[in-house]
Amino acid sequence: MTDLVLLPAVDIQSGQAVQLVQGVAGSEKTFGDPLAAAQRWKSAGAQWLHLVDLDAAFGRGSNAEITTAITGQIGMLVELSGGIRDDASLTRALDAGARRVNIGTAALENPEWCERVIAEYGDRIAIGLDVRGTRLAARGWTQEGGDLFETLDRLNAAGCQRYVVTDVNSDGMLTGPNFDLLTQVCARTDAAVIASGGVTTLEDVARLRDIDGVEGAIIGTALYVGNMTLTDALAVAAGANPEDLS
């Protein structure tokens, strides 16, 4: 068993840290200053931060100044997501200091570009697979994006080294991850998989730790509303028994 990498999430909308329910605009809970949120997760011991520009993901604006400032100041490994769809946005993210960028919509709408940057940047590129059932969602989860497994096969052939797999129906719902989906994806690829959506309890973290192929997990709402502490989650990710922490 290897440690599970935890990536606490800071999702930014209109300059504020928020958490959405199933990615639906208007469902958000607001949690204040994004930099303060990131600093809180750093203080709790996280090495990685999952930083998302929701306005860029939805194509309705940009929080690039904020994400650039956080990436440059926070002293964490940053996985940056939201609106990275061309060379300019990719270069800006990497130049800002992001260790890794998460490409979602462009992997579906511009596959030739996506395959080129996978070849060029290697493990600094992760592909976000946002899933409803076995269908993919694009444009901030507002549009249909094709079949999950056909897309996965294509990206495997292009040499993708890491996928961020989000079950849209679980995201922000505090109902637990879609373990079946994650197991199916891991069986279909040799690439690393990061689980996203629905992580609610320390037991969820332990189950994800034990899935062969799942390298990490993104946790958002459960941390913000206090279902668990990041300190306890990191301990379980490193092998602790959840029952010993309750």
Cβ–Cβ under 8 Å, residues 204 and 233: no
- Token pair 């996928």 is found at 163
Known catalytic residue: 123? no
Polymer length in residues for the chain: 246
DSSP E strand stretches across the chain? 5-13, 16-19, 29-30, 48-53, 77-81, 100-103, 125-132, 135-138, 143-147, 162-167, 192-196, 214-219
* SS3 call for 126: strand
Give CA angle at 217 (118, 30), nearest 5°. 105
Single-letter code of the amino acid located at 137: A
Q: How far is residue 222's CA from residue 129's CA, in Å, rounded to a whole number?
A: 21
Do the strands 143-147 and 135-138 form a parallel or antiparallel pair, or are they unpaired?
antiparallel
* DSSP-derived secondary structure letter, 30: E
Nearest to 64 by CA among 98, 103, 37, 100: 98
Angle in degrees, 0-180, between the axes of helices 179-188 and 202-209, rounded to the nearest 10: 20
Known catalytic residue: 180? no
Q: Classify residue 133 as exposed, middle or buried by CB count within 10 Å of its CB (0-12, 13-18, 19+).
A: exposed
Q: Which two tokens stand for residue 180?
A: 């079946």
Active-site residue, selected from the candidate residues 53, 55, 130, 204: 130
Residues known to be catalytic: 11, 130
